[in-house]
Structure 1
C-alpha cells in the first residue's frame, strides 16, 4: 500500500499538524472533509490513522455540546514539534491555504448549533452560539410543526450572528 513507512508517518504528522493549526475541538466529519477535499488520504486510511493516533494518545476524543470532537494531545504536539520537518512543504502550504480560506466557516460550524427534539406533539428547537468556550446564547423554543423546527434551525445556522444581535438589542432596549 505504501512505498515506505515515511509516507505513513508523514500522513499521521499531517493530521496532527491540521489539528494543531485549527486549535479548536473539531468533528471527525470536518477533519475528513478537509483531508478528502485536498486529496491527501483516502477515507478508510484516514479513519484508520485517526484510530491509531487516538490509541497512541496523540489525539483525544472529547465530548462537547453532546458531540464527539477531536483535539491534538500534548503528546501529539510534542511528536509534531520533533518531526514536523518530515511533512512536505507542499502539503503544509495546502493545509495553511485551505485553513486561511475556510477558518471562519469552520469556526462558525463549531460555534453555532441548531437542532430540535420531539416532545409529545411539540417540537423543541435548541439554538446555541458559543464563543471562546463561553455560551453567548442557548435558546429553546417550542414550535408546532416539523417544518417550523427545520426552518428555525436553517435560519439560525445561516444568520446566527445577525439574529443574535437583533435579539440582544430587543432585550436590552425594551
Structure 2
C-alpha cells in the first residue's frame, strides 16, 4: 500500500515536471502520447491523475480556439519545487531524453511572429504572435517610442517566446 502511494505521488510529480519542462500549454493528446510512449502510466490512470491535478489547481485547463490545453500553475510549480526530488533519476532521464528529441515535433505546429510597423504619429507598433495550427495562442500589440526598442522586443520574442508566453499566461492567471 505504501509503495502504491509513493508511486502515485511520483507519477503526479512526473506529470508536473513534464508540464514545467515543456513551458507552453499542451493538449491531453500530447501529454498522453508522452506518457504512453514511455510506458510510465496506463491511459485510464493518466486521465485520473490529470483530473486530480486539475481539481487540486496544480495544473489549469486553458482554451484556445475551442482547443483545451493544460498548463502548470504557480501552485503546481511550488509543489514540484518542494517534492520534485522524489521523482526517480531514471524517469527524469527518460523524460529529459524524450523531450530533448521530441520537443521540436511538439512545437512544430507553432508559428512565431515578431514584427513592427510605424503608425502615422511615428509610434512603433510591435506585433508579437504565436499561432498553433492556424489558431492564435497569443497576439500582443505594443506601442513603443523607438526603432531600437521595437527591434529589441522582436529579437527577444523570437529568442524566448516560450518563456515569455509561459510567464504572461502565469501572470494573467495568478490571483
Structure 2 length-normalised TM? 0.64
> What is the root-mean-square deviation of aligned Cα atoms in Å?
1.9
Higher RCO (C-alpha 8 Å, min separation 6)? 2
Q: Is the 8 A contact 2:64 2:135 kept in 1?
A: no
Partner of 1:97: 97
Partner of 1:83: 83
Cα distance between partner residues in 1 of 2:132 and 2:11: 30
In the comparison of the two structures, how many residue pairs are matched? 120
Partner of 2:138: 133
Partner of 1:28: 28
User: Superposed, which structure 2 residues align to 1:1-174 within 5 Å?
Assistant: 3-110=3-110, 111-113=131-133, 128=134, 133-134=138-139
Q: Is the 8 A contact 1:2 1:8 kept in 2?
A: no
Partner of 1:125: none
SS in 1 for 2:69: strand
Structure 1 length-normalised TM? 0.64
Structure 1, unmatched stretches of 5+, are 114-127, 136-174
Structure 2, unmatched stretches of 5+, are 111-130, 141-175
Greater radius of gyration (CA) = 1
Cα distance between partner residues in 2 of 1:134 and 1:94: 34
Q: Is the 8 A contact 2:59 2:70 kept in 1?
A: yes
1:7-52 CA-to-partner distances (Å, cap 9, x unmatched) read 1000000000000000000000000000000000000000000000
Cα distance between partner residues in 1 of 2:29 and 2:2: 25
1:2 Cα deviation from its structure 2 partner: 7.6
1:3 Cα deviation from its structure 2 partner: 3.4
Partner of 1:139: none
Q: Is the 8 A contact 1:112 1:129 kept in 2?
A: yes
